[in-house]
Amino acid sequence: GKLEGGSRYTFYSPEMNTWSRDRLNLEAALRKGLGNDEFELFYQPQIDIRSGRLAGLESLIRWHRPGSGLVRPDLFIAAAEESGLITNIGEWVLNAATHQAARWSADGLVPVPIAVNVSVRQCTDMSVVDTIRHALRDSGMDPRQLKIEVTESTAMHDPERVAELLHRIHALGVGVAVDDFGTGYSSLSLLKRFPISELKIDKSFVIDLAEDNDDAAIVRGTIALAHSLGMRVVAEGVETELQLRFLARHGCNVAQGFLFAQPLPTAEIRHWLKMPPP
Ligand code: C2E
Ligand code: CA
Ligand code: CA
Ligand code: CA
């Protein structure tokens, strides 16, 4: 420890040891989980607001961690990012989603767009473009059916590089969506330079839509902005009829949320894919 400005710093506190030990255990378990095939993709339906029909699916990773049941990504994606394991997990996700899409269309089910989340660490170099290209070629999935979701904060992290990355992804014929829009302070001029086909309004704005005038204004403004730039708008976290009605009234294109369905395992997605497309 060192005395500075009257406060004492101890670098090897017991809490710190526990924290880093937990983190190392988590990383080891993640690495093992990849080898043991412990991950699964769930899919959440996205609904075309005007027709009420299925407009797409978002893939969301789950981890069957031995002894812990089904673990949600909020509990391990950050650790995967920090350890660099996200590259391997991201590759697994892209392969799983594209092969699942190909399986569904081989079974004669309606081919809707499938969105895959790509995190900031996966965007630090261009290798994710190769990963996407390989997954598409390997699976035979139609690139136009695939959509990559990057968060607004990822896009703003290193705009030059991410713009280049997104253009390469776009050149494969793959769509690009900006996730968690409204939380990342993006500049509009930058947004215009990205090949984005879709904005996803963060669920924090959707939750209080009916009660909070500011959130309502942000949502209205985002829809108008997206449309003026030729983008579709998806609202996430739609839980109530009231929220849906507001979104419909203001021309939002697609809704995703518990009002329609939770993220579901593939077996339960099949019947959604039997509905006619919008
Ligand atoms: P996200 O991309 O913003 O995904 C939406 C999250 O909102 C999902 O949580 C979903 O289950 C949840 N959600 C959907 N509808 C509702 C609703 O009506 N109300 C509420 N309160 N929540 C709703 P999930 O599946 O736990 O995923 C959390 C985050 O983990 C995702 O946020 C995404 O950032 C990340 N993630 C998930 N799968 C992947 C993946 O394959 N790769 C990467 N890099 N990140 C992933
Ligand atoms: Ca997402
Ligand atoms: Ca989101
Ligand atoms: Ca979010």
- What b/e readout covers 125-143, taking b as 16+ CB neighbours within 10 angstroms? eeebbebbbebbeebebeb
Q: Among 44-53, 147-156, 248-257, 269-278, whose mean pLDDT is lowest?
A: 269-278
Residue 102 gets the label, from left (phi > 0), alpha (psi -120 to 50) or beta, of alpha
Q: What percent of the chain has pLDDT over 90?
A: 78
Q: What is the pLDDT of residue 1?
A: 38
Give me the torsion for CA of 132, 268, 202, 221, rounded to 10°.
Answer: 100
User: Binning pLDDT at 50, 70 and 90, where does residue 191 land?
Assistant: confident
- What b/e readout covers 4-19, taking b as 16+ CB neighbours within 10 angstroms? eeeeeeeeeeeeeeee
Q: What is the mean pLDDT of residues 244-251?
A: 97
Ligand 1 atom 19: residue of nearest CA? 237
Q: What is the pLDDT of residue 278?
A: 53
pLDDT tens, residue by residue, 108-136: 998 899 999 999 999 988 999 999 999 99
Mean pLDDT of the chain: 91
pLDDT tens, residue by residue, 125-182: 899 999 999 999 999 999 999 999 999 888 888 889 999 999 999 999 999 999 999 8
Atom of ligand 1 nearest to the CA of 202: 3
How distant is the alpha carbon of residue 162 from its chain centre?
16
Give the pairing of strands 39-48 and 146-151. Answer: unpaired
Whether 2 has a pLDDT exceeding 70, the answer reads: no
User: Binning pLDDT at 50, 70 and 90, where does residue 9 land?
Assistant: low
Ligand 1 atom 30: residue of nearest CA? 73
Burial (0-12, 13-18, 19+ Cβ within 10 Å), 185:
exposed
Phi, psi of 266 (to 5 degrees): -55, -35
Question: How open is the CA angle 239-267-81, to the nearest 5 degrees?
Answer: 70
Distance 201 CA to ligand 3 centre (A): 7
pLDDT tens, residue by residue, 48-96: 999 999 999 999 999 999 999 999 999 999 999 999 999 999 999 999 9
Distance 74 CA to ligand 4 centre (A): 10
Element (H, E) at 255: strand 254-256
Q: What is the pLDDT of residue 4?
A: 45
Q: What is the pLDDT of residue 3?
A: 44
* Cβ contact 71:62 at 8 Å: yes
Ligand 1 atom 4: residue of nearest CA? 60
Give the pairing of strands 54-65 and 7-9. Answer: unpaired
As for the ipTM of the complex, it is 0.97
Quick one: which of 99, 115, 54 has its CA closest to 273?
Answer: 54
Distance 202 CA to ligand 3 centre (A): 5
Ligand 1 pocket mutation, candidates 117, 178, 241, criterion most atoms within 8 A of CB = 117
